[in-house]
Amino acid sequence: MKKLVTLLVVLLAIASLFGAGVKDTQASSGPITLEWWTWDPTMQEENQQIIAQFERQNPGVKVNNTIIGTSEYWTKIRIQANQNKLPDVFTMSSGYIEEWAKDGLLYNLDSFVQKDDTFDIFYKSIFDTNKAISNTDSYYAIPFALVTTVLYYNKDAFDAANLAYPTDAWTWNDFRNAAKKLTIDKNGDGKIDQWGYWFYGRYAHIEPWIYANGGRLLDRTTMRFSPDKNAMDAMKMLTDLVLVDKVAPAPKDMSAFQQQDVFPQGVAAMWVDGSWFVDTFRKKLGNDMRWGIVRVPSGPGGTNTLTYGWPDSYALAPNTKHPEMAWKFARFVAGEGIGLDTYMAGKIPSAKKLATDPLFSDPNQQPGKDMDLLIEQAAGPMTTSYSMGWSEWRGYGGSEALGLNGMIDAIVNSLMSFDEAFKKSADSINTVLKRLYK
C-alpha cells in the first residue's frame, strides 16, 4: 500500500511539473508586451514608426515606448531598478555600464551574441568597446551608435592665414605652429579676436590628446588614478597653450559663451570635441562658414589611430520575461530595422549597412568626405576613461567644477600650479575610486 501511495505521489508531481511546463510554453507563445525606455523626446514620432514596423513584422508583439528627458532619465530608471521593475529594453550610457553590470542590473548578452550573426550586422569593435567599459569579459549592452572625438577646423580662417589645412598626419608641433598663426588681433586694439584653439577641462577636450600620445589616466590593474608620463605630457602641452603659448583663452575669460559656440562663432579656429557636433554645425552654420574634421594630432609618445570614443547603447532588464524577443527588438532598434535618417549627423551607426550608406558622407553637406574618418574610427581601436564613479572623479555635468575637470580649469585660470593641481586631484580622485574599488 505504501508503495502504491508513493507511486501516486511521484506521478502527481510529474504531472504537476508537466502542467507547469505546458503553461510556460503557452505563455511564451501568447501575446508579448515589451517596455522600451529612451531618453530623447525629439524622437517620439520616429520611435512610434519604428514600433509600428517591428509589430508588423512580429504579430502578437506590442511595444510601449516611454520617453524621458536626459535630465530626469537616470533618476527615474534608477527608481525602476531599485523596485526590480526595469523595462525590457532601455537606453544605456557607457558611463554606467560597469556599475550596472556589477550590480546585476543588466542582462548578460553573451549567449545571444555568440549564436547570432551579430558581427556580420554590427561593428565588433564597437561591441568590444562596451565590453571593455564594463570591465568584464562579457557583453552587457548592444550599441546603436558610436560617438568619437575629432579636431574641428575653420577652413576660412586657415585660408585667410595662408595655411594648409590640417591632416591626419599632423603632429603636436604642426598643431601648435598653426595655432600661433591663427591667434589674431584683427583690429589692433590689443585684444585677441580669433584664438588659434579653445578648450577647458572637459573630458572630450582632454582625453583625446592623452590617448593620441599613448597615455592613460587610470591604472586598470589597481583601478587608481595614476596618469603616466604620456598623459601628463599631453595635459602639460594643453595647459601651456593658455599659459605659455598664449594661443588659447583661459576659461574664466569665456563666460559670455556656451562652450560649443566658441568655434562656430569664429572666436577659435580649431577645437576638439565630440563628432555629434557635426549635426549642430550643419544646422547652425549652413554654408556661412567652411569647416572640416581630422584626427586629433599625434603626440611624440603615441599615435592618433587609437580613438577616444564611446557607444550609446541599449540594455535588457536582467529579469525580462521575454529575453529572446527583447534581444530581437534591441537589434532592430540598434540598426537592423531603422534608417540612416534616424541618426544625428556625426553619430556613427553601429550597423554596418547604415554606416556605409553613401549618404553618411553626403558630399552636399559639410564636412563632406571628411565624414569617412568617422567610419575609419568605428572600425578601429577605441578607448575611454570610464569607470565606476566616472562622473564624480572626472567632473561631469553638474560636477564640472570638481574632479579632474576642475583641476585643469584651476591651472589654466592661474589659480593653481600644474604640479599642485595634480597632486590635489590625485588625492581626491583616488578617494572616490578607493570607495568603489576595494
- Quote the CA–CA distance of 90 and 282 in Å, as a whole number: 29
| 295 secondary structure, DSSP code | P
Q: What is the pLDDT of residues 332-350, one digit of tens each?
A: 999 999 999 999 999 999 9
SS3 of 9-58? HHHHHHHHHHHHHHHHHHHHHCCEEEEEEECCHHHHHHHHHHHHHHHHHC
Alpha carbons 23 and 17: distance in angstroms, whole number: 10
Q: Which helix (H) or strand (E) holds 317?
A: none
> At 264, which amino acid appears?
P
| Alpha helix ranges (H) inside 58-182 | 70-82, 97-102, 110-115, 118-121, 124-134, 155-160, 172-182
The upper half-sphere exposure of residue 134, i.e. CA atoms within 13 Å in the direction of its Cβ, equals 29
- Average pLDDT of the residues in 123-130: 93
pLDDT at residue 27 tops 80: no
- With b meaning 16 or more CB within 10 Å and e meaning fewer, what string describes 95-123? bbbbbbbeeebbbbbeebbeeeebeeebb
List the helix and strand counts (H, then E) for the chain. 18, 11
Which region among 23-27, 173-177, 233-237 has the lowest average model confidence (pLDDT)? 23-27
Question: Cα dist. 322→77, 90, 114, 217, 405 in Å?
Answer: 19, 14, 19, 40, 42
Strands 32-38 and 89-93: parallel
- Compute the distance between CA of residue 245 and CA of residue 242 in angstroms, rounded to an integer: 6
pLDDT at 22: 31
- Residue 193, φ and ψ in degrees, nearest 5: -95, -30
Span 188-202, mean pLDDT? Answer: 97
Can you point out the beta strands (E) in 300-372?
A: 307-316, 348-349
Is pTM, for the whole model, over 0.85?
yes
Q: Which CATH superfamily is domain 32-147+309-379 in?
A: Periplasmic binding protein-like II (3.40.190.10)
Identify the bridge partners of residue 224 per DSSP, sorted by sequence position.
219
pLDDT of res. 244: 98
Closest CA to 293 of 396, 366, 357, 364: 366
Contacts of 90 (CB under 8 A, 6+ apart): 36, 37, 38, 77, 314, 315, 317
% of the chain surpassing 70 pLDDT? 93
Q: What percent of the chain has pLDDT over 90?
A: 88
Residue 316 contacts residue 327 (beta carbons within 8 Å): yes
Distance CA 403, CA 168 (A): 31
Round the average pLDDT of the chain to a whole number and report it: 92
H or E, element range at 393? helix 390-394
pLDDT beyond 50 at 26: no
Helices (H), 150-252: 155-160, 172-182, 203-211, 229-243
Per-residue pLDDT at 102: 96
pLDDT at 29: 62
pLDDT reading at 18 higher than 70? no
> What tens digit of pLDDT does each residue of 399-426 get?
778 899 999 999 999 999 999 999 999 9
Domain range list for the chain = 32-147+309-379
